[in-house]
A and B are shown apart, each in its own frame.
Chain A
Amino acid sequence: MPRIGVFICWCGTNIAGTVEIEQVVNAARSFPGVVYAGDYRYLCSEVGQKLIKDTIKKENLERVVVGTCSPRMHEVTFRKAVAEAGLNPYLLEVANLREHCSWVHKDPAEATPKAIALVRAAVSKASLDEPLTALMLDVEKRALVIGGGIAGIQAALDIADSGYTVDLVEKEPSIGGRMAQLEKTFPTLDCAACILTPKMVEVAQHPNINLLTYSEVEAVSGFVGQFDVRIRSRARSIDPSKCTGCGICYEKCPAKVPSEFDMELGKRKVIYVPFPQAVPNIPVIDRENCLYFKRGRCRICEKECPAEAIDFEQQDEIIERRYGVILVATGFDSMDLTGYGEYGYGQHPDVLSALQFERLFNASGPTAGQVVRLSNGRPPQRVVFIQCVGSRDIARGQNYCSKICCMFTSKQAILLKEKLPETEAYIFYIDLRTAGKGYEEFQRRAAEEYGVIYLRGSVGKVFPEGERLLVRGVDSLSGRPLEIEADLVVLAAASVPRRDAPELARLMSINSDRYNFFDEAHPKLRPVETHTAGIFIAGACQAPKDIPEAVAQAGAAAAKAVTLLSKEKLQSEACVAKVDPARCSGCLHCEAVCPYGAIAATETEERVRGELLTRTVAEVNPALCQGCGCCTMTCRSGSVTLQGYTDEQMLAEVDALCLQR
């Protein structure tokens, strides 16, 4: 039995407030193998760590058990302390007395025996700990950024400026994302394109950025430092080395479809660039709608192209490349409002989503910048804005606040007033949330200088009345029902994750919250990391965000990514699976379930009745194994063990816990 030392942390009052520390220490002294048990107020402090190190030497400890907070917090700290005292760092066990015990209990009479049981289990496991060694692995000095909106652009630029090569993958034909669709930005009313396009151009010109538009990530394997990614670069049907971006092709193209960029309000050609400032300024042929691809006739673009750049035969290109880090910045969608029939969305041309309304202001938008009713082409005399459509709606939409709608609605009201000073603007809101630098002032300006009328309340129904729309609602401050005749109704649709976010989360093995926004590793302290090492998130794919926040987060994520890329070597996971070839029957079910491709077949030799036979068994590549344990669950004969979490150790823990009762 190895000599085990137990250290119980008070964590101030976090643990000591609910758990009788002294009782735990006394109990620990009686556990098999324990030669020392002590406690300290803050074990993670310098002094606390020194206590551990000194005791290891003084008592000749061979295993260490700490009863502290979650191993997610301080396992690394204590492993280092143990290593500094000359022990293998994997001879440490953490009993989680805070998250698993003191924080979830109120009564010390219940919490204390549980803490004792947890320490007993950790001691039992520790007595079976074996020293483990981690490998040192190379870091591929290349970053992948997924998503070419403002967050992805900023992150790519920051990483590229640090001297590392970045591949920026964007699904659409151009980078720019949601921001490119905006006319102006709050609270400064800068023209969105004027501040975005210089960054887009910088991306295109940056020697360290390799731009892959019209491309999607199809598969991700590997691990931090060595992610292997398959990217499908869809055929544009245009040779980019020949195309001059003259635009004759889309001028002449006879087929039109609704424009995604204009939120389906306007039309685009089938060979198209999404917007005039697109980067790259190379059109794509939308093969689903192209007359030639559909019916085998047309080819007008090919005839008209002076550069002979049209290539109908072009194939999708598959790019397989290794990256050290991945940064996900896939942005958000505007919620589909078809479930809100009472507002007449989709039924009446004058009921628009906020993003659609935004496009009306844009000079290259569907109305060439004229704010008009789509039903009759005349300017509206009164516009009613309805906020929180889908947000803060537990019954039909999202529980959360989409955060940006109060501000963009005020912005759109101001833009409306600037363009049509005589037009009245009414805004129905539940609460006005204007936290942010200059935000409150901006909203006040809308109300006080521009005369936008804010009504606290909700709208029950919008329906056509003659040529206009009748908005029926309640003013919740006065309690009076309201009826307002309007020419345009604008709905502030909730911001929701991209439709394909769950699929991407699965590809990358990153967590999502219940709405499918990607989860950060810690809500406060690791806001741009994910639980998968080496994968970072930025922008509205994590939660609704405005531009300054998305940009700030992109910078932070880029800094984290660069920190990893700047390392020569990374330590691999030490708790990896191991196959016992004598027991393994070579069914390779473990290979089938391994999410990291870490298991492969190998040959082993054995003597059967005097003859040497070779047979197939499984083998784990410790550099690829991430210690998830799927293989150990699949193996019927228990031929695969996860080192640091062996079956014996797990059973010892269970036995120890049962013994307590």
Chain B
Amino acid sequence: MAERRINNMEKIRTAVAQDLLSGRIDLLLGWEKGLYWWQSRPLFARNSEDLQRLTWDSFCVANLSGYLQEELKENKKIGILLKGCDSRALNRLVQDQMVDRERVVAYGLPCPGLLDPRLLKQEAGLELTALGIEEGEDRVTLTGTKGKSIAREELLLEKCRRCHHPDPVGCDQLLLPPVGSREDRSRFHQVTRLEEIPAEERFAYWSSQFERCLRCYACREACPCCSCRECFVEQEEPRWLGKAHENSENFIYHLTRAFHSAGRCVECGECQRVCPVELPLMELSSKIIKDINELYGEYQAGLDTEQDPPLLTYQPDDPAAFVE
């Protein structure tokens, strides 16, 4: 397994090095190792030295598509490494005319799903610093414990456990063999569970969640959908959102953000990942995605760029319960 990973890494590095060093791309967006073994962080590689730090492992969670808009202002052509969810984000950005696809070289990385450090810690019952892992094909062994081995699927990030399309779509090249679609995974079980709770309890649940929000707007900053030049949050004319730290304002912020990403959320989970108080933000987007699917037919943002986004098209047989 370790050998295969090294082989894969070489394959990836060779492919992107060719393009970066020949000048086909000015910048490569990838990942490098962070401070700890369970962290991989974005890498902005411009030369062969930078490329040495390039990594692809089970912790490359950051969705790099979000950087494109800003980076394209300074670079002519950018190469970018994309997992399945990341590739959908790029496609959606292209559909929204936020990114000029001609100026991007997309390298697809079929994704086996990423590991959730919190689950590792939980399973091991140890601090992560005292822990290490050995990854097998389907299982992960926790070193530092007494060789505890757990099915990989059970250690995946929440977003990966509901991911149907781990293979990138619409890329210029796939750097690794595809892993196949995973439509067997349950995508909406969390939302369904929330839907079943009586409205008052559900309100209480969300109140207690939003109560904790710091309004740091990290969710917005990390979201590849949030492409507005000026967010409603900062607008003064009119002022949609009060500055006070009030739960009612927190509600307005989160619900409006969820609606603003309606029909465009690719379920990359960045909003939830970067939240310092761990708000279950994916559930808001999931609920809207589920509703769109039920009302207008199956749609996954960014999966098929030929398919018209349901919220931007009109079909005579669209349900219109609100006007009937």
Chain A interfacial positions (CB closer than 8 Å to B): 502-503, 506, 582-589, 592-593, 601, 608-609, 613, 616, 634, 636-638, 647-648, 651
Instruction: Judge whether B238 and A647 touch: CB under 8 Å.
Output: yes
Distance, CA A537 to CA B74, complexed state (A) = 58
Write the chain A residue with the least CB distance to B262: A636
Q: How distant is the Cα of A123 from the Cα of B96 in the complex, in angstroms?
A: 39
Interface centre among B227, B238, B309 (most CB of A within 10 A): B238
A591, closest chain B residue (CB): B312
Q: Is the CB of B230 within 8 A of A637?
A: yes
Other-chain residue from A506, A587, A636 in contact with B97 (beta carbon distance below 8 A): A587
Nearest chain A CB to B309's CB is how many angstroms away? 8
Check B238–A651 contact: CB distance below 8 A. yes
Looking at the assembled complex, report how far the CB atom of A628 sits from the nearest CB atom of chain B, in whole angstroms. Answer: 13
Top 10 A-B pairs, shortest CB-CB distance = A637-B228, A592-B312, A587-B96, A636-B260, A648-B238, A585-B229, A647-B238, A651-B238, A583-B230, A608-B73
Say yes or no: is B3 at the interface (Cβ < 8 Å to chain A): no
Shortest beta-carbon distance from B227 to chain A in Å: 6
**A638 & B98 in contact (Cβ 8 Å cutoff):** no
* Chain B contacts for A502, CB-based, 8 A: 316
The reply to whether A506 and B316 form a contact with Cβ atoms under 8 Å apart is yes
A592 and B96 in contact (CB under 8 A), knowing A583-B229, A636-B228, A637-B231?
no
Whether A588 contacts B97 by the Cβ 8 Å rule is: yes
Q: A616 contacts B97, CB within 8 Å? A: yes
Dominant SS among interface residues on chain A:
mixed
- For the complex, would chain B's binding face be called helix, strand, loop or mixed by DSSP majority? loop
Using A503-B316, A506-B316, A648-B238 as known contacts, say yes or no to A585 and B73 having CB atoms under 8 A apart: no
Judged by a CB distance under 8 angstroms, whether B67 is at the interface is: no
Mark each residue of chain B from 63 to 77: 1 if its CB lies under 8 Å from any CB of chain A, else 0.
Answer: 000000000011000
List 11 extra interface pairs beyond A588-B97, A592-B309, CB under 8 A. Answer: A585-B98, A585-B229, A592-B313, A601-B97, A608-B73, A634-B312, A636-B228, A636-B232, A637-B231, A638-B240, A647-B238
The answer to whether A638 and B229 have CB atoms under 8 Å apart is no
B129 CB within 8 Å of chain A: no
B224 to chain A, nearest CB (A): 13
Known: A608-B73, A636-B260. A585 touches B228 (CB 8 A): yes
The 0/1 profile, CB within 8 Å of A marked 1, for residues 207-249 of chain B is 0000000000000000000011111100101101000000000
B312 touches A584 (CB 8 A): no
Contacts of B316 in A (CB 8 A): 502-503, 506
Cα–Cα distance between A502 and B324 once the two chains are bound (Å): 14
Inter-chain CA distance A609–B74, complex, in Å, is 9
CB within 8 Å for A638 and B235 given contacts A503-B316, A608-B73: yes
**B side interface size, CB within 8 A:** 20
Measured between C-beta atoms, what is the minimum distance from B275 to chain A in Å?
Answer: 21
Q: Report B-chain residues with C-beta under 8 Å of the C-beta of A503.
A: 316
Q: Which of B74, B98, B230, B240 has the most CB of A within 10 A?
A: B230
Q: Which of A593, A634, A637, A648 has the most B CB atoms < 10 Å from its CB?
A: A637
- Residue from the set A503, A583, A589, A608 with the largest chain B CB neighbour count within 10 Å: A589
> B316: nearest residue on chain A (CB-CB)?
A506
**CB neighbours of A587 from chain B (8 A):** 96-98, 227
- Residues of chain B within 8 A of A638, CB atoms compared: 232, 235, 240
CA separation between A173 and B209, bound complex, in Å? 67
Q: Are B312 and A637 in contact (CB under 8 A)?
A: no
* B56: min CB distance to chain A, Å: 31
Q: Which residues of chain A are near B237, meaning CB under 8 Å?
A: 648
- Candidates B229, B235, B260, B313; contact of A584 at CB < 8 Å: B229
Rounded to whole angstroms, the CA-CA distance of A584 and B96 in the bound complex is 12
Complex contacts, A584 vs chain B, CB 8 Å = 229
Closest partner residue, chain B, to A618 (CB atom)? B97
Q: Which interface residue of A502, A616, A638 has the most chain B CB atoms within 10 A?
A: A638
Complex CA–CA separation, A502 to B228 (angstroms): 38
The interface residues of chain B lying within 8 Å CB-to-CB of A636 are 228, 232, 260
What is the bound-complex CA distance between A638 and B227, given in angstroms? 13
A228 to chain B, nearest CB (A): 19
